[in-house]
Chain A
Amino acid sequence: SQQGEEDPQALSIQEGENATMNCSYKTSINNLQWYRQNSGRGLVHLILIRSNEREKHSGRLRVTLDTSKKSSSLLITASRAADTASYFCATDNFRGGGADGLTFGKGTHLIIQP
């Protein structure tokens, strides 16, 4: 079953505005990751936050993690038309003995209006 659920499913904003996407998950995690997918392409990793971290920045991206609420948010500041894509959160539930894959949410489709 899906681990993460993104909210909202779709988001349309004006260029230059900030975009916030949320993700909730169900079980304990080692880390949570955000990926971007442009239409018809593969997923590209954006940022990873470990379970013992609360906030992380990378360029115009800011990710927060609240393990008590099992939720995360991705903030994209000063959005650009090129940010138009689908964004997925993914949890790593690695329990030792080897990686067993990420569990993805259903994604948020972000549209940046020029």
Chain B
Amino acid sequence: LAKTTQPISMDSYEGQEVNITCSHNNIATNDYITWYQQFPSQGPRFIIQGYKTKVTNEVASLFIPADRKSSTLSLPRVSLSDTAVYYCLVGPPINDYKLSFGAGTTVTVRA
């Protein structure tokens, strides 16, 4: 799996937009980018996945530039309940079941 680099922590306030950038310079042609969220005392939870350009769902948006060497997870109008660790994972979408979690980014949302 491609190595990923993301900030260790980020602070924000309620109502703001949070953008977490993940670097993955050695991403392979068939790799997808996946983000997981983990709340304290819970298991990781899938948020979003994309291959290129932009993907949006009810939780977040994922922006992937043309060179795909980085990606940005965007959390719109965060609330206190969005305080969690966010993981960026890169790997092929099929037949690669070994999810490889890095240290993740701890996002702390304050009132």
A and B: real partners? no
